Amino acid sequence: MRNRQIFLVDKPEGALEERHFELREAEAPEPRAGEALVRTVLLSLDAANRAWMQGPTYRGEMAAGSVMEGFGVGEVVASKDGALAPGDLVAGMLGWQDYSVHPARRLRKLPRDYRPVSHFISLLGVAGKTAHHGLLQVGRPREGETVLVSAAAGSVGAYVGQIAKIKGCRAIGIAGGPDKCSWIVDTLGYDAAIDYKAEDVAQRLAELCPDGVDVYFDNVGGRILQAALFNMALRGRVVCCGAISQYDTTEMESPRGIPGVIVFKRLRLEGFIVSDFPDKDAEAERDLAAWYAEGRLQVAEDVLDGLEAAPRGLIGLLAGDNIGKRMVRVGPDPD
Amino acid sequence: MRNRQIFLVDKPEGALEERHFELREAEAPEPRAGEALVRTVLLSLDAANRAWMQGPTYRGEMAAGSVMEGFGVGEVVASKDGALAPGDLVAGMLGWQDYSVHPARRLRKLPRDYRPVSHFISLLGVAGKTAHHGLLQVGRPREGETVLVSAAAGSVGAYVGQIAKIKGCRAIGIAGGPDKCSWIVDTLGYDAAIDYKAEDVAQRLAELCPDGVDVYFDNVGGRILQAALFNMALRGRVVCCGAISQYDTTEMESPRGIPGVIVFKRLRLEGFIVSDFPDKDAEAERDLAAWYAEGRLQVAEDVLDGLEAAPRGLIGLLAGDNIGKRMVRVGPDPD
């Protein structure tokens, strides 16, 4: 079986470019005892993929010279482990390739009949659960509070604002460009949008939130984090989810005024990743599926076609050209 | 009655200097209905005094041209409020002066017979309560955890390490110079000290805390905060109490790597001031008094003599030349 694989052949110094990747072909590997061979159906493209190249984070640094790592959903085509059988739908770190072999315990079995499969990457995947855990377990907004979200048209931000509205909060989104800004208000139900490419974020925050922001869900870091910090309400909470403005560059910008603003506003800044709340996953999936079924939550997906689209898809995502959860369709859904 | 008053006549651009202050004399004011006239006994010198000159914080910016503000303990000499009588010992924002008039509700009545009176500024005052609330309400260390404290020989830090030890933690202190470093270990019982003037703090932290710091009690901000952040344990907590390195300068230094390090280590940074926990004040005072009585907690005071010593006392404090709680004796204890 022919296996297309995209390697990270070189690590970017500045911005990530297509030349850092290379498509190669090999024979598909064979599973050994305790392993399964998986055919990739959908690959998730995430800002975190780029952060992994910068150095050790919550995982080791990604090395050049190996298949690009990434989360995906696939179909088991062969198994040497009793827990998995051909035809099973699984999620895991499949990597940018058609086929891959994994210890069965590293794969999460998904319901076989749920459609669309893409929801396991968007609504019910890392994106939806990151939004749910981050907002409700870390930010813990109370009804009537103001929730601010950056990258509000992105994979996670699109859900954060909607969940905030479902919980009775006011939701303000920051996004780049008029299309995203209209979309988050008109389609997702954000109360207001700030276009960071055209507006002064700090000034608009002061206008829109004269009593301050109670919960800021930060996906971007940098200058927008700084503007948010100085517009927080007393005892505001900052959910530190990501820092997309800081990943594809060597010129990192920490916000000014730390720790002063944290002390005098008595802020709480707290970081998390989605796997920190395994005991809340079932609740999050239940909520998200129910809200979607009831028509209260819109799912936004941005699906690129073909494995070879992954490099430019990731590069574009880092530049903010996606709306909703970006993923790559590598192969057809299981029958 | 002659009243000496020290005015802040000019606001510092760079470092605070004696020329920014001026001693003037006036008649002592008369209390009106609901007010009391207080004779200052002891004035507290605090790094926060300097922060108030920088801009609005948890209180309004201090204006030039008025009596320098500051917390103190004094004796009521005349009262036109039923709640206070001559001879009462009170605490409040007395300012840098011999006599001052305040609404009775802005003064806190202290036990008349407790000695030494200085404890109401050190052990049982803002210093002790800031340490107790910050460590136990915000940092919440568990037995066996490693607690790191900056300005560990300072007014608050001296108590934080001792409370950490009483609670069964390992305490590491950062201080400037060999005298302070020996003192915090030999007298206060810190397990180890790092001399930030002579050692590479990040490297020493990595050596002393190979498993990371669980709770960092930050009194200084700047480069030491940065070194601490990158040496925190997973899910470590940073108690943001103050930022003395950032007050007496126009060249502020925010730590690098924010928010990245908060996300990947899943840190919690939380700011507070002592008045955030009024319902915990009694418990803190009870604990502190009991530990002192049992010989488990050392009280360190650095008392300067005479109101006129206040300006250089504050300037010296900002340069780190105090050991323990610095205060100024303005007049004798009540009989």
We report the CATH number of the domain holding residue B112 as: 3.90.180.10
Task: Find the mean pLDDT for residues B123-130.
Answer: 97
Eight-class DSSP state of B278: G
Residue B234: closest CA among chain A residues belongs to which residue? A58
Nearest residue in A to B224, CA atom: A259
Q: A57 vs chain B: nearest CA distance in angstroms? A: 5
Q: Using CB atoms and an 8 Å cut-off, which of residues 176-235 of chain A contact chain B?
A: 218, 221, 225
Say how many CB pairs under 8 Å bridge A and B.
115
Does residue B223 contact residue A233 with C-beta atoms inside 8 Å? no
CATH of the domain at A247: 3.40.50.720
CB contact under 8 A, A57 and B264: yes
Q: Is residue B289 part of a domain?
A: no
**A271-323 pLDDT, tens digit each:** 999 999 999 999 999 999 999 999 999 999 999 999 999 999 999 999 999 99
Q: Pick the residue with more confidence: B25 or B251?
A: B25
Question: Residue B271 forms beta bridges with which residues?
Answer: B240
pLDDT tens-digit series, residues B274-317: 999 999 999 999 999 999 999 999 999 999 999 999 999 999 99
What is the number of structural domains in chain B?
2
Task: Report pLDDT for A16.
Answer: 97
pLDDT at B250: 86
Residue A227's nearest CA partner among A154, A150, A165 is: A150
pLDDT tens-digit readout, B65-120 = 999 999 999 999 999 999 999 999 999 999 999 999 999 999 999 999 999 999 99
pLDDT band, residue B131 (cuts 50/70/90):
very high
How does strand A301-305 pair with strand A325-329? Answer: parallel
- Alpha helices by DSSP H, chain A: 47-51, 126-132, 157-166, 178-186, 201-208, 222-229, 260-264, 281-293, 310-318
Instruction: Tell me the shortest Cα–Cα distance from A218 to chain B, in angstroms.
Output: 9
A 10 A CB-CB count for B113 gives 7
Structural domain includes residue A335:
no
Indicate if the pLDDT at residue A252 is higher than 90. no
Do B133 and B270 have their domain in common? yes
pLDDT, position B57? 86
A51 CB near a chain B CB, below 8 Å? yes
Distance from CA of A174 to the nearest CA of B (A): 18
Closest-CA distance of chain B to residue A331, Å: 32
Of A221, A255, A276, the CB nearest to B254: A255
Task: Report residue B35 CA to chain centroid gap.
Answer: 28
State whether B256 and A256 contact (CB < 8 Å).
no
Q: Which among A57, A238, A257 has CB closest to B254? A: A257
Task: Kindly determine whether residue A241 and residue B263, on different chains, have CB atoms separated by under 8 Å.
Answer: yes
Which position has the token pair 């970006």? Answer: A326
Residue A307 lies in a domain: yes
Tokens of A311: 């490099």
Q: Are residues B252 and B266 in the same domain?
A: yes
Range of the domain at A194: 126-276
- In this predicted structure, the answer to whether residue B233 has a pLDDT above a threshold of 90 is yes
User: Would you tell me which residues 55-94 of chain A have a C-beta closer than 8 angstroms to some C-beta of chain B?
Assistant: 57-58
Residues A142 and A241 grouped into a single domain: yes
CB contact, 8 Å: B269 with chain A?
yes
- Is there a domain that residue B282 lies in? no
pLDDT at A251 over 90: no
Q: B234 vs chain A: nearest CA distance in angstroms?
A: 9
ipTM above 0.90, yes or no: yes
Starting at the earlier edge strand, list the strands of the sheet with A2-8.
A21-27, A2-8, A66-67
Same domain, A43 and A74: yes
Contact B98, B331 (CB under 8 A): yes
Residue B59 lies in a domain: yes
Together in a domain, B108 and B198: no
The predicted-structure confidence for A176-235, as pLDDT tens digits, reads as follows 999 999 999 999 999 999 999 999 999 999 999 999 999 999 999 999 999 999 999 999
Contact B266 A273 (CB under 8 A): yes
For residue A148, the surrounding DSSP H or E stretch is strand A146-150
Of B264, B268, B273, the CB nearest to A270: B268
Asked if B225's CB is within 8 angstroms of A263's CB, the reply is no
B141 plus B18 within the same structural domain? no
For A282, residues 6+ apart whose C-beta sits below 8 A from its C-beta are: none
CB of B272 less than 8 A from some CB of A: yes
**B262–chain A Cβ distance below 8 A for any pair:** yes
Q: What is the mean pLDDT of chain B?
A: 97
Contact B58 A266 (CB under 8 A): yes
pLDDT class for B222, splitting at 50, 70, 90? very high
Distance CA A101, CA A31 (A): 6
Q: How far is A20 from chain B (nearest CA, A)?
A: 23
Please indicate, yes or no, whether residues B158 and B239 belong to a single structural domain of this protein.
Answer: yes
| B33 shares its domain with B57 | yes
Please answer yes or no on whether A271 and B273 come within 8 Å at the CB atom.
Answer: no
What is chain B's alpha carbon radius of gyration, rounded to the nearest angstrom?
20
Q: How far apart are CA B243 and CA B39, in angstroms?
A: 32
- C-alpha pair distances (Å), B251 with each of A223, B54, B254, B261: 19, 12, 10, 23
Predicted confidence at residue A6, as pLDDT, reads 98
B interface mutation test: which of A240, A250, A252 has the most B CBs within 10 A?
Answer: A240
> Six-digit token pair at A34?
């305790």
Question: Quick check: is B291 in a domain?
Answer: no
Chain B CB contacts of A221 under 8 Å are 258-260
Confirm if A307 and A328 have CB atoms less than 8 A apart: yes
Considering only CB atoms, which chain B residues are within 8 Å of A225? 258-259
Q: What is the DSSP string of B12-69?
A: -SSS--GGGEEEEEEEPP---TTEEEEEEEEEE--HHHHHTTTS-SSSPPPPTTEEPP
Q: Residue A77: pLDDT above 90?
A: yes
Indicate whether A141 and A183 sit together in one domain: yes
A200 & A72 share domain: no
- Could you give the 3-state DSSP secondary structure of residue B311? helix
Same domain? B130 vs B271: yes
B237 to chain A, minimum CA–CA distance in Å?
9
Tell me whether residue A281 is in a domain: no
Instruction: Kindly list the residues from chain B whose CB atom is less than 8 angstroms away from the CB atom of residue A258.
Output: 221, 225, 254-255, 258
Residue A335 pLDDT level (bands cut at 50, 70, 90): confident
Buried b (16+ CB within 10 A) or exposed e, A208-235: bbeebbbbbbbbbbbebbbbbbbbbbee
Å between A261 CA and nearest CA of chain B: 8
CA B120 centroid distance within chain: 12
Residue A264 has its nearest CB partner, among B57, B255, B258, at: B57
Phi, psi of A266 (to 5 degrees): 50, 55
Q: Is residue B187 part of a domain?
A: yes
Same domain, residue pair B198 and B312? no
Amino acid symbol at A328:
V
Chain B CA closest to residue A224: B259
Q: Do A58 and B264 touch (CB under 8 A)?
A: yes
Rg value, chain A, Cα: 20
Q: Could you tell me the CA-to-CA distances from B197 to A102, A322, B250, B296 in Å, in that order?
A: 51, 49, 21, 29
